[in-house]
Structure 1
Amino acid sequence: MVLAPMAGVTNVAFRTLCRELELERTGTVSGLYVCEMVTARALVERHPTTMHMTTFGPDENPRSMQLYTVDPEYTYAAAKMIVDENLADHIDMNFGCPVPKVTRKGGGSAIPYKRRLFANIVAAAVRATEGTDIPVTVKFRVGIDDEHHTHLDAGRIAAEEGAKAVALHARTASQRYSGEANWDEIARLKEHVTSVPVLGNGDIFEAPDAVAMMRQTGCDGVVVGRGCLGRPWLFAELSAELNGTPAPASPNLGEVGAIIIRHGRLLADHHGEDKGMREIRKHVAWYLRGFPVGSQIRAQMSLVRTVDELAELVSTLPADAPFPSDGHGPRGRQGSPAKVALPDGWLDDPDDDAVPAGAEVMHSGG
């Protein structure tokens, strides 16, 4: 089971919390917790924000880093830097981002359509890690839209170029995060790619969902993103479910409150108290979903400025309130499907391996 990188979420604070809760509730840490996606060029150029995003905990093992990249040269340089400076133990590459500002320049989920360019990028990362025990893995979507599926080619190419595993978010880029993930496409990819593990991603919001996906598709593991927003203990439940052991009980509000405070302190340690408290505000809304907490206290927590203030507000919550029945299910962004923004002529030649102009100049932290 893998924690999917999410911008502004899966920093060292959140990953530490997930690991702590899995260990506390199951006695072991078996999940792979991946840091926020970072841009290969920004890493090579040592952009301060990017370097801060690559922070790992002192006992975090394995250290897993995901790269956003469109250029084989920067891919090689970034992967070589990770190797030479011992920055991570695992490199994942993201070709699934559907955000218009990314795809409009030929990045993210637009890349796998360009088969040769995609192959060159994966090959560059693999070449940079040769002779090491750092595996390279690749994540992508079903395709650009229903008329342009690319996942079967992408899985085959990634495996041929030396990737050690592939992961499929079972939506097209045009779906973004709307509708339902099509798990049948994970099954198709698993049948098509037999030389490396295939992981499935999409609509795993509860522990039984992971078992259902693996049974339905035959995939070798699961990648979880939005399902853990406000529920960093979900990986403990997943671990128990996948190993056939009793699932830990869902926390009551008192336990959730303690997790909120711990998360806030970890964020303050990572970002400083001012930014850390600005970051915790969005998490609080996810944590309190469905609990009997009035609008006034919610509003106060959305403006919290210090860890002490956060702890004081948490102390006023009804600690014995059980985990709500409507606290389960989909979380985070969903939105609506839309036509994918692409560079002019992008679909004309899938074998064009030219690097898209301007797609990797972003220093937006991923």
Structure 2
Amino acid sequence: MATLTAPARPLAIGPLKLDTPVVLAPMAGITNTAFRRLCREFGAGLYVSEMITSRALVERTPESMRLIKHHESETTRSIQLYGVDPKTVSQAVSMLVDEDRADHIDLNFGCPVPKVTRKGGGAALPWKLDLFREIVEGAVNAAGAVPLTIKMRKGIDSDHLTYLEAGRIAEGAGVASIALHARTAAEFYSGHADWTAITKLKQTIGSVPVLGNGDIWSAADAIRMMDETGCDGVVVGRGCLGRPWLFGDLAAAFAGEERTAMPTLGEVADAFRRHAELLVEFFEDEDRGCRDIRKHVAWYFKGYPVGGELRAALATSDSLARIDELLAELDRSEPYPGEAAEGQRGRAGTPKQPVLPEHWLASRELGTAGRDEVSAAELHNSGG
């Protein structure tokens, strides 16, 4: 395993101190309480909720209120918010702070999916410098002593990059850290992340930590990113899908230990079963929890000799008892398959033309006329 050329220092995000400079990236439908608890059982870091829509939170929709709940074992409660209206975002932040529901709040400026960018949100929003500044400044003020951070992408596409200007604005507004997914919205999850952009952002931002995100599939990748870019920490997303033990690898690597998990098929099955159990507890519904674990089957068993029929059966199971029956069919002694279990996982696809509001790229300023349109465009559902 690669080791840092210099020992990793604890990552300070405002008053929060992380001995392992690792953050779990918010992923819609993935980073719920169940998955966060599982990852925490294997390693260390800051574990962030899936994205919550500010409007839905302010309106206290049942789903948004459920998604912001944390298990008592989650000692640092971290929530990511999305929004396009400065007032609504500030109200959502104030609610979390005033009601003592979060110890860390992150704002999403990186989501590339059409239902978000077509409203001017996610990765599209930093193009409007006045709107971005107003949202971030208002959120920081509303957060008070609770550290508020941002996560963003390089920009909309290669001709409309925003990350350096947005980084300077966020630093000036008083954010506690800045995370950069080194792709544009147009790249979606395709190709390779441009780590040189992380280097440029780190060289631009001097007073707050800069975190790198993109193509961290192993602890060695995280070490290499920090060595090559000089960033202060890493954000891990798709690389931990079906591999919660990656956080143990990361903790070991940053502690200077040459240790990498190579789980047998039995150990993978145990982690899968534990994940399903935690999902049932999270949803308070066995059928729903067992339905939710289905999307994780391919990620957990990637590279292992698990036949198509058994995989299909796991992906249609409707109870923990049925999952137990199916897992009992596995040869638990099967060793770690090496390269076959490594590498990219999760969505990748091809570059996509970003879906934006009409005339969005005509100006870097939203202006007064655009304020009402943005406010009306605030999404009413959580996730994304």
TM-score, normalization by structure 1: 0.96
Match of 2:83 among 48, 64, 69: 69
Deviation at 1:312, TM superposition (A): 1.5
Q: How far apart are the structure 1 equivalents of 2:161 and 2:226?
A: 22
Match of 2:119 in 1: 105
What code does the residue aligned with 2:327 have? V
Match of 1:59 among 63, 73, 90: 73
- What is the aligned-residue RMSD (CA, Å)? 1.1
The equivalences for 1:45-56 within 5 A come to 45-56=59-70
Matched, 1:336 2:350: yes
Matched, 1:119 2:170: no
After the TM superposition, which segments of 4 or more aligned residues of structure 1 sit over 6 Å from their partners?
none
Matched, 1:321 2:334: yes
Q: How far apart are the structure 2 equivalents of 1:357 and 1:345?
A: 17
Q: How far apart are the structure 2 equivalents of 1:240 and 1:361?
A: 41
Match of 2:275 in 1: 263
What code does the residue aligned with 2:74 have? E
Matched, 1:161 2:173: yes
What code does the residue aligned with 2:377 have? A
Deviation at 1:317, TM superposition (A): 0.7
What code does the residue aligned with 1:317 have? L
1:31-50 CA distance string (max 9 Å, x none):
00001110011001001111
1:305-358 CA distance string (max 9 Å, x none):
001111121111110111222111000000110211111111112122544254
Matched, 1:8 2:29: yes
Q: How far apart are the structure 2 equivalents of 1:51 and 1:266?
A: 18
Match of 1:17 in 2: 38
1:183-223 CA distance string (max 9 Å, x none):
00000000011111000000000110001101110000000
Q: How far apart are the structure 2 equivalents of 1:104 and 1:360?
A: 11
Match of 1:182 in 2: 194
Match of 2:14 in 1: none
Matched, 1:135 2:153: no
Q: How far apart are the structure 1 equivalents of 2:42 and 2:277?
A: 15
What code does the residue aligned with 2:246 have? L
The SS at the match of 1:171 is: coil
Match of 1:26 in 2: none
Match of 2:220 in 1: 208
Aligned length: 357
Match of 1:144 in 2: 156
Match of 2:378 among 334, 339, 360: 360
What code does the residue aligned with 1:178 have? S
Match of 2:288 in 1: 275
Match of 1:303 in 2: 316
Identical-residue share of aligned pairs (%):
54
- Point out where structure 1 has 5 or more consecutive residues left out of the alignment: 23-28
The SS at the match of 1:37 is: strand
Tell whether the 8 Å contact from 1:102 to 1:359 is kept in structure 2 after alignment.
no
